[in-house]
A = this chain, B = another copy of it.
Amino acid sequence: MKKRTIYEELGVSPSKEEVHKALENQEKGLYPGAFCKVLPDISGDTDYCSIFHSDSAGTKANLAYMMYKETGDLSFFKGIVQDAIIMNVDDVLCVGVSGNVLISDTISRNKRLINGEILAVLIHEHISFCKWLTALGFPIHLAGGETEDVGDLCRTLEVGVSLFSRIKRSQIIDANNVQEGDIIVGLASSGKASYETRYNSGISSNGLTLARHGTLHHQYYTKYPECYDNGIDEKLIFYGKHLLSEPLSGTDLSVGEGLLSPTRTYSPVIVEIFQHFKTKIHGIYHNTGGGQTKCLNFGNNLCYIKNDLFEIPPIFRLIQASSGASWEEMYQVFNMGHRMEIIISEELSQDIINISERFNIPAKIIGYIEKSPDSDRKNHLLLDTTEGKFQFSKILGKIV
């Protein structure tokens, strides 16, 4: 039997096997191979389709709470709102949505710990952040939301967002079109994009349970008992080497700020790519849950070879060194340097790279796609990295 990963010990299934098993016989929508589920139009117009997506900032909210308690700075909660919105927005970019988007937010709080002042910051930031995204060229509107006082369920705070969009079917990007011979262009997850005001660590909003416990010092175990599941073995809780206030080497952020860096949106880059090359794109993959193995879920009978990844950003080196997670696990949990992949023919790759770099987001060819050596419909992935070669396959709906 395969050894449980640290992430699994912490009560998180990175590949969501149980979810995929429960859903395996369910309808897959109009484009079963697309990055997000695409449904028939809500009003029955066969030229249109509906996309209804949900995601949240997850346990990153606990970290915002800790940083707020350490510093008194309410603005850490704003990043959580960005996380919840962008985890949705950048997913639907992958099926071709470039605006015409409504969102609804759900804030579940422990009222004893998350007061009215914090709530006001969260609610207002949803509105402000939608205005900012719209101004950047991605029209999005906050439709409404729900706030719940559920301290018996929620230890601190959970911020979730649902997104609805209605677009023409002709605008959909179906990752089923990804094919052998295609090139994978990666867009860097860390750095400072032209539309960002500060260096982004690249961490986004997945893997945070591993990142928090593996990186932060055990002194937080007694200081913040409200920030972890007290049914988990104490030796796995905040077992790392670092304090929130320590500098994150190689950046101008503290360790806490690095872990809490808000999820970058790629929407300005992708919207511009759509303006010029939309019909030429074979697929776009958003490397969130599953990290660099996300691609295995898409295309048929393909072998993904990623052999020129970005240099690993400081935040991921810190998490690995402190947590003791294997590099193999790190690549399965985190994006490790690029969170967005554009799958396209080789002759267009330089155009894509140029657009990204105009937004000060480094981009490059990080790999390519071959036909799978197996004759079945399995997908394979080879990660050829500075830290070793790692191979993964998708067999019977399961990444191994």
User: How far apart are the CA atoms of A245 and B375 in the complex, in Å?
Assistant: 57
Are B100 and A42 closer than 8 Å at their CB atoms?
Answer: yes
Are A127 and B39 closer than 8 Å at their CB atoms?
Answer: no
Are B166 and A26 closer than 8 Å at their CB atoms?
Answer: no
Q: In the assembled complex, how far is the CB of residue A210 from the closest CB belonging to chain B, in whole angstroms?
A: 11
Residues 157-213 of A at the B interface (beta carbon under 8 Å): 157-158, 160, 162, 164-166, 209, 212
Closest to A14 in B: B149
Q: In the assembled complex, how far is the CB of residue A384 from the closest CB belonging to chain B, in whole angstroms?
A: 30
Are A150 and B158 closer than 8 Å at their CB atoms?
Answer: yes
Residues from chain B with a CB closer than 8 A to the CB of A144 are: 29, 36-37, 39, 52-54
6 nearest A-B pairs in the assembled complex, by CB-CB distance: A18-B116, A52-B143, A162-B162, A151-B229, A22-B120, A11-B151
- Stretch with Cβ within 8 A of B (4 or more), from A55-63, A264-272, A329-337, A348-356: A55-63
Residues from chain B with a CB closer than 8 A to the CB of A11 are: 110-112, 149, 151
Q: In the assembled complex, how far is the CB of residue A199 from the closest CB belonging to chain B, in whole angstroms?
A: 26
Are A23 and B123 closer than 8 Å at their CB atoms?
Answer: yes
Q: Is A325 an interface residue (CB 8 A)?
A: no
- Stretch with Cβ within 8 A of B (4 or more), from A67-75, A101-109, A303-311, A357-365: A101-109
Q: Is A226 an interface residue (CB 8 A)?
A: yes
**Residue of A61, A103, A124, A146 with most chain B CB atoms under a 10 A cut-off:** A146
Contact status of A123 and B19, CB under 8 A, knowing A112-B11, A226-B231: yes
Contact status of A22 and B119, CB under 8 A, knowing A43-B100, A112-B11: yes
User: How far apart are the CA atoms of A181 and B215 in the complex, in Å?
Assistant: 65
Closest to A123 in B: B22
Residues from chain B with a CB closer than 8 A to the CB of A151 are: 10-12, 209, 229, 231-232
User: How far apart are the CA atoms of A209 and B112 in the complex, in Å?
Assistant: 14
User: How far apart are the CA atoms of A16 and B29 in the complex, in Å?
Assistant: 38
User: How far apart are the CA atoms of A58 and B124 in the complex, in Å?
Assistant: 23
Residues from chain B with a CB closer than 8 A to the CB of A55 are: 146
Other A-B pairs beyond A53-B104, A62-B152, A151-B231, 15, CB < 8 Å: A18-B119, A19-B147, A39-B144, A42-B164, A43-B100, A50-B102, A54-B105, A54-B145, A56-B106, A104-B162, A106-B106, A108-B158, A149-B209, A153-B157, A162-B162
Q: Is A380 an interface residue (CB 8 A)?
A: no
Q: Can you list 12 A-B pairs, Cβ within 8 angstroms, ordered by A?
A: A39-B143, A39-B144, A42-B164, A42-B166, A52-B144, A53-B144, A59-B153, A62-B152, A150-B158, A151-B209, A152-B209, A152-B229
Are B112 and A231 closer than 8 Å at their CB atoms?
Answer: yes
Q: Is A148 an interface residue (CB 8 A)?
A: yes
User: How far apart are the CA atoms of A212 and B160 in the complex, in Å?
Assistant: 26
Q: Is A136 an interface residue (CB 8 A)?
A: no
Q: Is A13 an interface residue (CB 8 A)?
A: yes
Q: In the assembled complex, how far is the CB of residue A202 from the closest CB belonging to chain B, in whole angstroms?
A: 21
Residues from chain B with a CB closer than 8 A to the CB of A164 are: 42, 50, 52, 102, 164
Q: Kindly identify which residue among B22, B53, B154 contacts A153, using a CB–CB cutoff of 8 Å.
A: B154
Are A152 and B227 closer than 8 Å at their CB atoms?
Answer: yes
Residues from chain B with a CB closer than 8 A to the CB of A152 are: 59, 62, 155, 209, 212, 227-229
Residues from chain B with a CB closer than 8 A to the CB of A108 are: 56, 158, 160
User: How far apart are the CA atoms of A26 and B147 in the complex, in Å?
Assistant: 15
Residues 112-125 of chain A, each 1 if its beta carbon lies under 8 Å from chain B, else 0: 11011001100110
